[in-house]
């Protein structure tokens, strides 16, 4: 079951274009995107979301984690994508792989298909 | 025989020796077979947590390639956790189909039904019914045809099985003082599980050893954990308990760590929260015995194939813990599973912060696992006869000592 919402809460309308790319519901989908993103992709996400992170988390916390309205679920998935992608900007100089690491395609995440934001 | 404590440095080295470690045992198929027979078919093996099968009828299927079987771990209607071979007593098919190394499900009506011919077993083991029973030419004695039991015991919410017909030790004696050292930690609080796994082309001991020492942190984790890798760390308080061993990991230089902006924001929010922040007071009394505020984690090997770390919210978010397991699949093939356990997030901002922490952890494990296949190839090249071990690699010495004792003394 995928999230049907195609829009974020109105106060985050400026992040719509990024959400269209990054607000994927599962870790497996977000990881697959991350491992093929470019330095410019990571930087665009970081530059747009980092200054809004506090506002996003406050807005998200106004709803119970297990029962978020669709627009907030989408905002949550964007925030999770940001949390997962940030090391590529802050630590890996924009590289889409962890430097000197194991083949990420051989890592399985047991929780990789879970969708957060609903019960 | 009860595993008792050896904590004096000189006594530790007198027992384990100070010389290089021969590598032959990591390459030999004969040694591997001895380990399967004398260790994996005799020791208590940790196969799960009670929270993984929280409700009556919940089951976990744990594949045990090392013994060519798999275990059904199931909670009965009486709340008891039991273990059985995942094996139909009719003609040997797996009763519950597996979807991976670990599979999870819930038995409806406390029945486990073999998909081959429809034999139905109760979650407590007995054979409940079989189709067309009257057409077997000899009478069926259902009382002898229940699921084949496995010895199963629980310590601190960890489920262990033992594949021996009659285990040599109770689980309490097998863990001995190691069990007491860790008892009382609030494991059950950290019920939110994030597990990563991979099948590695290496001997299980190569993978175990790579995760059994802190010497590698400042080099291999300079990419993902630059804060920790760049400041003073101390691994100390070594203790041996038979096949198990432990040590304390401290970060005297923690104040000099410079978190990245997002780590400061997200990790910082966890460290400052009452729920995920430091709770050194909740550690068992023999862990962090000097009550140091720079305690990072207790770092241990729970023999034969588990590495267990406990945290207390200092320099790491929350009463969280993590473990690595190394499941042999052949002399040169190993299933590695790394599992982080956190307190369940109650809000979206906690979830985002925990996912950020977990991502750094996962990425650090991608760094760790990069060495194992290369190390194994290096050992197979035949250019080294033995390897050198420094002080922070002493738990490796202990694991190999215990493995040798279990396999050569026979």
3-state secondary structure labels for all residues of chain B: CCCCEECCHHHHHHHHCCCCEECHHHHCHHHHHHHHHHHHCCCEEEEEEHHHHCCCCEEEEEEEHHHCEEEEEEECCCCCEEEEECCCCCCCCCCCCCCCCEEEEECHHHEEECCCCCCEEECCCCEEECCCHHHCCCCCCHHHCCCCEEEEEEECCEEEEECCCCCCCCHHHHHHHHHHHHCCCCHHHCCEEEEEEEEECCCHHHHHHHCCCCCCHHHHCCCCCHHHHCCCCEEEEEEEECCEEEEEEECCCHHHCCCCHHHHHHHHHHHCCCCCCCCHHHCCCCCCCCCCCCEEEEEEEECCCEEEEEECCCCCCCCCEEEEEEEEEECCEEEEEEEEEECCCCCHHHHHHHHHHHHHHHHHHHHHHCCHHHHHHHHHCCCCCEECCCHHHHHHHHHHHHHHHHHHCC
Mutate to test the interface with B, among A28, A83, A103 (most CBs of B within 10 A): A83
State the DSSP code for A52: G
- Residue B223 to residue A86: CA distance in whole angstroms: 13
Cβ pair B197:A108 closer than 8 A: yes
Q: Report the residue from A53, A91, A102 with minimal CB separation from B260.
A: A91
The lowest-confidence range among A68-72, B145-149, B274-278 is: B274-278
Locate tokens 């901002």: which residue?
B349
Q: In B, which residues are within 8 Å of A66 by CB distance? A: none
pLDDT tens track for B96-144: 999 999 999 999 999 999 999 999 999 999 999 999 999 999 999 999 9
pTM, entire model: 0.96
Q: In A, which residues are within 8 Å of B362 by CB distance? A: 107, 109
pLDDT tens track for A56-93: 999 999 999 999 999 999 999 999 999 999 999 999 99
Mutate to test the interface with A, among B227, B270, B352 (most CBs of A within 10 A): B352
Q: Report the residue from B224, B346, B355 with minimal CB separation from A83.
A: B355
- Residue B281 to residue B364: CA distance in whole angstroms: 28
The angle formed by the CA atoms of residues A74, A76 and A80, to the nearest 5 degrees, is 120
A19: three-class secondary structure by DSSP: helix
Q: Which residues of A touch B (CB under 8 A)?
A: 50, 53-54, 57-58, 60-61, 63, 65, 68, 72, 76, 79-80, 82-84, 86-87, 90-92, 98-102, 104, 106-111, 116-117
Average pLDDT over residues B202-230: 91
| Phi-psi sector, A42: left (phi>0), alpha (psi -120 to 50), beta | alpha
| pLDDT at residue B161 is higher than 70 | yes
Q: What is the pLDDT of residue B409?
A: 58
Cβ pair A108:B196 closer than 8 A: yes
Closest CA to B163 of B56, B30, B62: B62
Q: How many CB atoms lie within 10 A of CB B231?
A: 17
Q: What is the pLDDT of residue B54?
A: 97
Chain A's closest residue to B196, CA to CA, is A109
Q: In sequence order, what are the beta bridge partners of B112? A: B121
CB B405 within 8 A of CB B399: no
Contact of B356 with chain A, judged by CB distance below 8 Å, is answered with yes
Mutate to test the interface with A, among B100, B206, B334, B348 (most CBs of A within 10 A): B348
Q: What is the pLDDT of residue B135?
A: 97
pLDDT tens track for B291-327: 999 999 999 999 999 999 999 987 777 779 999 999 9
Chain B's closest residue to A101, CA to CA, is B367
Locate tokens 């397991």: which residue?
B325
Least Cα separation, residue A13 to chain B (angstroms): 20
Closest CA to B199 of A108, A29, A97: A108
Q: What is the pLDDT of residue A1?
A: 41
State the DSSP code for A4: -
pLDDT tens track for B340-371: 999 999 999 999 999 999 999 999 999 999 99
- Residue B181 to residue B6: CA distance in whole angstroms: 12
Band of residue A5 on the pLDDT scale cut at 50, 70, 90: low
Q: In A, which residues are within 8 Å of B100 by CB distance? A: 108
Mean pLDDT, all residues of chain B: 95
């Amino acid at each position: 079951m995928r999230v049907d919402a195609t829009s974020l809460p109105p106060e985050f309308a400026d992040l719509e274009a990024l959400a269209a790319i990054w607000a994927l519901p599962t870790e497996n989908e977000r990881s697959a995107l991350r491992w093929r993103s470019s330095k410019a992709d990571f930087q665009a996400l970081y530059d747009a979301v980092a200054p809004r992170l506090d506002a996003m988390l406050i807005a998200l916390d106004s709803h119970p984690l297990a029962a978020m309205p669709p627009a907030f679920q989408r905002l949550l998935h964007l925030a999770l994508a940001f949390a997962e992608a940030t090391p590529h900007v802050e630590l890996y100089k924009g590289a889409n792989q962890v430097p000197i690491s194991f083949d990420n395609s051989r890592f399985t995440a047991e929780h990789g298909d879970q969708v957060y934001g609903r019960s | 025989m009860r595993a008792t404590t050896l904590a004096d440095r000189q006594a530790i080295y007198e027992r384990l020796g100070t010389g290089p470690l021969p590598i032959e045992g990591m390459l030999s198929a004969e040694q591997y077979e001895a380990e399967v027979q004398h260790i994996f078919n005799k020791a208590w093996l940790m196969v799960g947590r009670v929270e993984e099968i929280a409700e009556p009828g919940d089951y976990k299927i744990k594949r045990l390639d090392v013994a060519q079987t798999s275990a059904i771990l199931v909670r009965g209607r009486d709340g008891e956790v039991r273990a059985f071979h995942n094996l139909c007593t009719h003609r040997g098919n797996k009763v519950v189909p597996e979807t991976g190394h670990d599979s999870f499900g819930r038995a409806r009506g406390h029945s486990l039904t073999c998909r081959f011919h429809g034999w139905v077993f109760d979650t407590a083991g007995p054979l409940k019914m079989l189709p067309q029973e009257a057409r077997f030419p000899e009478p069926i004695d259902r009382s002898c045809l229940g699921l084949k039991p496995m010895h199963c015991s629980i310590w601190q919410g960890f489920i262990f099985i033992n594949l021996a017909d009659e285990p040599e030790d109770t689980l309490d004696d097998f863990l001995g003082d190691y069990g007491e050292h860790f008892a009382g930690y609030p494991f059950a609080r950290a019920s939110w599980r994030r597990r990563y796994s991979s099948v590695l082309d290496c001997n299980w001991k190569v993978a175990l050893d790579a995760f059994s020492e802190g010497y590698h942190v400042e080099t291999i984790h300079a990419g993902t954990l630059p804060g920790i890798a760049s400041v003073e760390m101390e691994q100390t308080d070594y203790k041996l308990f038979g096949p198990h061993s432990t040590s304390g990991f401290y970060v005297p230089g923690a104040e000099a760590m410079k978190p990245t902006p997002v780590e400061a924001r997200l990790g910082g929010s966890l460290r400052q929260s009452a729920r995920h922040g430091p709770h050194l007071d909740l550690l068992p009394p023999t862990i962090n015995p000097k009550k140091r505020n720079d305690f990072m984690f207790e770092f241990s090997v729970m023999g034969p194939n588990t590495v267990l770390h406990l945290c207390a919210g200092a320099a790491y978010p929350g009463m969280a813990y993590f473990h690595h397991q190394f499941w042999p699949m052949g002399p040169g093939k190993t299933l590695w599973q790394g599992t982080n356990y956190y307190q369940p997030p109650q809000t979206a901002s906690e979830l985002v912060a925990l996912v950020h922490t977990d991502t750094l952890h996962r990425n650090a494990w991608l760094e760790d696992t990069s060495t194992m296949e290369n190390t194994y190839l290096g050992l197979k090249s035949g250019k080294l006869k033995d390897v050198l071990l420094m002080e922070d690699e002493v738990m490796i010495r202990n694991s190999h000592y215990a493995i040798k004792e279990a396999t050569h003394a026979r």
